[in-house]
Chain A
Amino acid sequence: MKKNWNDKVYGHVRVSVAGRLTEQFINRCVREEITIWNIQRIDKTTITCCILLKDIKKIKPVLKATDCRIHFIERAGLPFLYKKLMSRSGIISGFILFFLALFFLSNIVWRIDINGADPKLEAEIKAILNKMDVHVGAFEFFLPSTEKIESELSSRLNKVTWLGVSKDGTTYHIDLVQKELPKKDKAPGPRHLVATKKAIIHKIFAEKGQPLVEQDQFVKPGQILISGLIGKESAPAPIAAKGKVIGETWYQSETTIPLQSNVKTYTGKTYTKRQLQLFGWNCPLWGLKKKPFKHYDREVTKKPVHFLFWDLPIAYKRIIYREDDENERKLTESQAIQEAKQASYKKLKSQLPLKSKVVSQNIDKRIIKNGKMKLYMHYIVYENIAKPEAIDPVKVKEQIEKHKKEKKDGG
């Protein structure tokens, strides 16, 4: 006989049956398919037995037929337990309240860790976070995503080289690397200033040192512009040359621009869908259209719900559809030239030192081929071409000696 759990789940009762024909009662029960077990004799006219709760209704005609009386002794199983619990509303409401509180507290920010910032910066970060409502005790559901916090923080802080925001359960981690301000240069050792590239000298200011080139002179890279050796040729004193040498330099560029291109533009119309995700199934709350626009971009924000350490399979989802138009853009030749010019100018500017000046730009050549325009440009730029180069004391000594020798020979 298998022990089945039916009686535990559905509930059963223990009854005593009194009457003259108790054996007949048992036989009848079996015939009517009433589940009956644990039958015990109490005295000549009474037996006790267990009966499934769902069979209780069927027992009345059997009792009548065998002239027996029934008396309930014990109730057992889930339905009775449930009934008992229900009558104690305090326990139930306590349970519900406990889980609600646990659920609520699981979705709250408990800590914000900031690693790698000095106290001042930390306070600053906390202030910015506070403005975004990210603080200890905030309900996580309404907070922006970590990516948003990250971009907001890194755009507001300029003392930071790198910044990462991550979330670990109820804790936000903000790791950052602070910019180290460069220490002031030590007094530089003896040096020359030499040319960095081919150029024609436009202007030369020598603060310290001996200028060796003149205006409008052509220089090659590596050529000494301002010498750090001053004084007599026979006994030169090495110093740190300082100054600015503006040279005229030349650049050539090649830019390609398509005359026809497809451009996506947003029309400004948006459509927002709100959904509740349950076990991977999306239950729409707001916005029922399947495809609101013909052409669109989708932006999905998902807010998962937590319980203790787990992500529940429930999430709130917001999908924003932005309608866009795809337009074909045709450029006339002059427009294309304009654009190509701008693009190549930008590219050039990014390569040049900070205080450079583009003096003139000329179009060398332009070719239109396969719907694309190739533009060859020529630029003249004024830029600082000076670069420090340390003076090797050994070389200087050699030079002096050589000089002396020459003098002797001459003398």
Chain B
Amino acid sequence: MKKWRDNFKKWFINHSDMPADVIMDLPRITMVGQLHIYIENHKGVISFSNEELRLSMKQGQLQIIGKDFVLKAILPEEILLEGFIQKVQFLEDKRELI
């Protein structure tokens, strides 16, 4: 049933002009050079330090690695991180999800 629904969504995205993040509840990530990263549709902070920010997503986690991180703003669905960003990576490990 769930698989069928996912398939339908994919088909819908392919056959309409709707953006994927709206329909599939996916994160939308915007970066400004290495200075800013702006993430929508996150599901909470898992860990935050000067070199790493880990966010929980609907599926898996998002890991951002860099230097001198400052969380400029945080809202229920949005996050703005400032610093020197080196790596953005999706982690599939579901066990670490809280």
Residues of A at the B interface (CB closer than 8 Å) are: 1, 22-23, 26-27, 29-31, 33, 36-41, 47, 49
- Return chain B residues, CB-CB under 8 Å to A36: 74
Is B75 an interface residue, CB under 8 A from the partner?
yes
A31, A40, A41 — which one has the most chain B CB atoms within 10 A of its CB? A41
CB atoms of B73 and A31 under 8 A apart = no
How far is the CB of A33 from the nearest CB of chain B, in Å?
A: 8
CB atoms of B45 and A27 under 8 A apart = yes
How far is the CB of B68 from the nearest CB of chain A, in Å?
A: 9
CB atoms of A41 and B49 under 8 A apart = yes
- Return chain A residues, CB-CB under 8 Å to B45: 23, 26-27
Contact of A1 among B46, B50, B72 (CB under 8 A): B72
Contact of A41 among B46, B48, B72, B75 (CB under 8 A): B48
- Select from chain B the residue with minimum beta-carbon distance to A44: B49
Given contacts A22-B48, A38-B72, A47-B48, list 19 more A-B pairs with CB under 8 A: A1-B73, A23-B46, A23-B47, A26-B48, A29-B74, A30-B74, A30-B75, A33-B76, A37-B71, A37-B72, A37-B74, A38-B71, A39-B48, A39-B71, A40-B50, A40-B69, A40-B70, A41-B48, A41-B49
Report Cα–Cα, A226/B70, bound state, in Å.
118
- Select from chain B the residue with minimum beta-carbon distance to A29: B74
How far is the CB of B56 from the nearest CB of chain A, in Å?
A: 9
CB contacts under 8 Å to A, within B65-86, are: 69-76, 80
B46, B73, B74 — which one has the most chain A CB atoms within 10 A of its CB? B74
5 A-B pairs closest in CB distance: A39-B71, A27-B44, A41-B49, A23-B45, A37-B73
- Return chain A residues, CB-CB under 8 Å to B69: 40-41
Known contacts A1-B80, A26-B45, A27-B44; A41 and B73 CB within 8 A of each other? no
Report Cα–Cα, A155/B13, bound state, in Å.
96
- Return chain A residues, CB-CB under 8 Å to B73: 1, 37
How far is the CB of B64 from the nearest CB of chain A, in Å?
A: 13
- Select from chain B the residue with minimum beta-carbon distance to A33: B76
CB atoms of A38 and B48 under 8 A apart = no
- Return chain B residues, CB-CB under 8 Å to A41: 48-50, 69
